[in-house]
Amino acid sequence: MSALPSTQKQILLCRRPHGVPVAEDFALGEGPVPTAVGPGQVLLRQIYLSLDPAIRGWMSESKSYLPPIAIGAPVRSGTLSQVVLSSVPEWQPGDLCQALAAWEEYSLVPAEQLMGKITPVPGIPLSSMLNVLGGNGLTAYFGLYDVGRPEAGETVLVKARPAGGGAASWGSWRSSAAAAWWASRGLATSASGCAASWASTRRSTTRAPT
């Protein structure tokens, strides 16, 4: 593995946004690259950053399920990253993962912030692992399967906004991918956040959720 650089680019939050964020809320900075991992930690190199409405939530001081991004800190983000160094046996250098990291090139994170190993799927772009096979798709999947539970013949309404948000993953990513799986597998929908659609095949059988 080639030597790590000593510095890296980071995008920092330099002030809390007022309303819609503006460019001046952010700053391009240069920070050190961590060179060692502590117990339970992994050093990641970011491949893709996922842009989601959740990031805006973290930029404010509102109480939420994650603490606000500190002023001067790199902007927290969902990412698709590659493991560089690891003190955790489950994660080896070279592994690809979906993670909660930040807008920077390298992040030192607790292993708990790695949300699943990514195995490239032939024919599917790696970026899709953050989209339909990432937070967006997963949010749609669990939001419908577990929470909405539509039945055969029911009407599902969704705001089909191709925004950055697979619904509420740890980043409160928004996804409006509405798939009435058990009503008609592959029912057409669109994922807000991943502009995904399941082609409509409409079947009359009802399939119970697992």
Partner 1 sequence: MVGLTGSSDKCEWLCSELGFDAALNYKSPNLSQQLKDVCPKGVDVFFDGVGGELLDLVLPRLAMRGRVVVCGAISEINRTEPGPGLRNIMQLMAKRARMEGFVTLDYADRYAAARDELAGYVREGALKTRDEIVDGIEHAPAHLLRLFSGDHRGKLMVKVTDPCDPDFRLKESST
In whole angstroms, the minimum distance from the beta carbon of 146 to partner 1 comes to 7
**Which CB, 41 or 113, lies closer to partner 1?**
113
Token output for 131: 């989209």
Q: How many CA atoms lie within 13 A of 60 on its CB side?
A: 12
State how far the Cα of 175 lies from the Cα of 98, in Å rounded to an integer: 17
Three-class secondary structure assignment of 138-153: HHHHHHHHHHHCCCCC
CA distances 62 to 24, 67, 129, 164, Å, are 20, 8, 29, 20
The nearer residue to partner 1, 70 or 92, going by C-beta atoms, is: 92
In the complex with partner 1, which residue's Cβ is closer, 41 or 55? 55
Smallest separation, CB 95 to partner 1 (Å): 9
Alpha carbon distances (Å) from 116 to 11, 79, 134: 25, 11, 10
| Residue 203 CB, nearest approach to partner 1 (Å) | 12
Q: How many CB atoms lie within 10 A of CB 207?
A: 13
Question: Token match 């500190």: residue?
Answer: 70
Of residues 41 and 101, the one with the C-beta less far from partner 1: 101
Which amino acid, one-letter code, is at 34? Answer: P
We find the least distance from the C-beta atom of residue 132 to partner 1, in angstroms, to be: 4
In the bound complex, what is the minimum distance in angstroms from residue 129's beta carbon to partner 1?
8
Q: How far is the CB of 204 from partner 1 (least distance, A)?
A: 16
Task: Determine the Cα–Cα distance for residues 81 and 49; give it in Å rounded to an integer.
Answer: 8
**Three-class SS state of 3:** coil
Q: Which is nearer to partner 1, 109 or 196 (CB)?
A: 196
- Output 13 or 41, the one with its CB closest to partner 1: 13
